[in-house]
Amino acid sequence: MTTNGGADLTRLIEPDRVHRSVYTDDAIFAREMEAIFQRAWVYVGHESQVKQPGDYCTALLGQQPLIMVRHSDGAVYVLYNRCAHRGALLCAKSRGNTGGAFGCSYHSWQYRTDGTLESIPLPAGYEGTRFSPGAADYNLKRAARVESYRGFVFASLSPSGPALAEFLGEARIALDNMCDRAPAGEVEIVPTCFRFIQHSNWKIFMENQLDALHPYVTHESTGRAAAELERQMMARKQKPPLEYHYLSAFTTPFNEWDKLQTVNYPYGHCMLQGYMGLRPRDPDTLAYEAVMREHYGAERTERILGVNIHHVLIYPGLSVQPALQQLRAARPLAPNRTLTEIWHFRLKGAPEAIYRRALAYYNLINSPSTMVNADDLENFWRCHQGLAADGGDWVSFHRNAGQDDEHDGVIASRRGTSEAPMRNQFRAWKQYLSSSEH
């Protein structure tokens, strides 16, 4: 594949179609990592992953290996995972507790958990050299900006840009609504992470998250099997578990999906309305709603539980399902390789049955035995294979183009299957790439 990195990248993005090279080109990928993933606010992790001083976990932002760590004063730091001496990774494990300091495995430089250099062996060896302890060069480098929103930690590797709250804008409803659904107003991560390597570009994954045209086709086999099981169980006078409905909902025909709505925000964030009956009326839900009313009062409870959202994308790499307490983070590895990390959360103060509902979704839809993503991943692979070939230069996003309603930079689609979310992501892509052009 020829490289397109020197070309005017924004010419590859038209309002209703994009050039295939943005998915396959090595140089464009490198530019994306720099201009998007190393500048935007990217999700690092949840504060409940690092509860105690010394607790740490690692994350990849763009191509940069980072450590999120809880310091002795309770603050959370995000540091580059790189020793200031000769460059070794400090943390080779993805999580753990490092005690008071990070010690390098190579020559034992020691760093405090805020990244400052604590000690080096045989310091006399540096006398009379340019090495000066205390200078920033000899500390662990910090992510340029770190902010937490209701426990969700984001970092930007660029010193300038909008503050996190401004960046999130209305898409913060993803995090607000997930936390608000907890009677205690906050969530706690469950320390299991299911991870997949997708053999396709990261944008193919992001475009899929809000694609209401695909479930009826891609997930037909699972939708039909689940619907059949529901019928069989009902015929046997058994009550099918609620989570079967998450799968049988895929049999919803095209025209029903089209009645949904997407809302598309600045910075590439987007939201797809819920479709799978996210507010059932079973006894567990009713008991939970009673607890909610105790905490929030009837009116506020209604406002929180009335939020009917399936997915919110926080561009460029996060997909959140507030009502199901799930989160998927996409970590691009190469133009044709994307790591996804999938987490789920407990609602603090909610009955165990509500956790179990999130767990059922996590196990059924998001685990490595998924009967759902199995067919998504197959299609992502097919897309990437096709886009790497010379069978055509453009990717079509014409569906309902020009038929959306725009107010103050927010684009509401009139149709659920509108390709507005994809167009909106490329609107942001173009802005990131063009403002980084020198």
Half-sphere exposure of 341 (CA within 13 A, CB side): 20
Does residue number 398 form part of the binding site for ligand FES (CB under 6 A)? no
In the set 89, 144, 190, 276, which binds other proteins (CB under 8 A)? 190
Asked if 252 is part of the footprint of other proteins (rule: CB under 8 A), the reply reads no
Q: Does 213 participate in binding other proteins (rule CB under 8 A)?
A: no
Q: Are 199 and 334 in contact (CB under 8 A)?
A: no
Query: What are the E-state strand segments in 89-151?
Result: 95-97, 101-103, 110-112, 117-119, 145-149
CB of 132 to ligand FES, least distance (A): 17
Q: How far is CA 362 from CA 114, 150, 311, in A?
A: 34, 22, 14
Position 191, amino acid: P
> Is the preceding omega at residue 316 within 30 degrees of 0, hence cis?
yes
Residue of 137, 228, 282, 302 interacting with other proteins (CB under 8 A): 228
Q: How many chain residues are in contact with ligand FES, going by CB under 6 A?
A: 10
Q: Is 83 in the site for ligand FES (CB under 6 A)?
A: yes
Q: How far is the CB of 316 from other proteins (least distance, A)?
A: 20
Quick one: which of 226, 249, 309, 350 contacts other proteins (CB under 8 A)?
Answer: 226
Residue 309 makes CB contacts below 8 A (sequence gap 6+) with 173, 174, 177, 271, 272, 273, 274, 321, 322, 323
Q: Which amino acid is at 230?
A: E
Query: From CA 126, how far away is CA 205, in angstroms rounded?
Result: 50
345 binds other proteins (CB under 8 A): no
Binding mask 261-300 for other proteins (x = CB under 8 A): ----------------------------------------
Interacting span for ligand FES (CB under 6 A) from 30-38, 85-93, 142-150, 368-376: 85-93
Q: Is 352 in the site for other proteins (CB under 8 A)?
A: yes
Among 85, 150, 337, 356, indicate the residue that binds ligand FES (CB under 6 A): 85
What does the per-residue mask of binding to Fe ion show for 373-392, with x meaning CB under 5 A? ---x----------------
With CB under 5 to 8 Å by kind, the binding choice for 101 among Fe ion, ligand FES, other proteins, none is: none
d(CA 353, CA 355): 5
Reference 95, options 144, 139, 54; nearest CA is: 54
Instruction: Give the β-pairing of 13-14 and 262-264.
Output: unpaired
**346 lies in the binding site for other proteins (CB under 8 A):** no
Residue 28, CA atoms < 13 Å, CB-side half-sphere: 26
> Among 29, 41, 43, 109, which residue sits at the site for ligand FES (rule: CB under 6 A)?
109
409 binds, among ligand FES, other proteins, Fe ion, none (CB under 5 to 8 A by kind): none
101 touches other proteins (CB under 8 A): no
**Neighbouring C-beta atoms of residue 380, cutoff 10 Å:** 21
Q: If we measure between CA atoms, which residue out of 414, 92, 258, 94 comes closest to residue 103?
A: 92
- Of 107-115, 277-285, 371-379, 383-391, the window that binds ligand FES (rule: CB under 6 A) is 107-115
For the sheet with 95-97, list strands across it: 76-80, 64-70, 55-61, 95-97
Cβ distance to ligand FES smaller for residue 110 or 367: 110
The residue (of 108 and 396) whose beta carbon lies closer to ligand FES is 108
Q: Please, are residues 357 and 283 in contact by the beta-carbon 8 Å criterion?
A: no
43 binds, among Fe ion, ligand FES, other proteins, none (CB under 5 to 8 A by kind): none
**CB of residue 285 vs other proteins: minimum separation in angstroms?**
18
Does 29 sit near ligand FES (CB under 6 A)?
no
Q: What is the C-alpha separation between 313 and 202, in angstroms, rounded?
A: 13
Alpha helices in 306-419 (DSSP H): 352-366, 373-387
For residue 340, give the H/E element and its range: strand 337-347
Query: Within 365-404, which residues bind other proteins (CB under 8 A)?
Result: 367-371, 373-375, 377-379
Query: How many residues bind to other proteins according to rule CB under 8 A?
Result: 39
97 binds other proteins (CB under 8 A): no
Chain positions contacting Fe ion, by CB under 5 A: 376
Chain positions contacting other proteins, by CB under 8 A: 190, 192, 194-197, 199, 217-218, 220-222, 224-226, 228-229, 233, 244, 247, 339, 344, 352, 355-356, 359, 362-363, 367-371, 373-375, 377-379
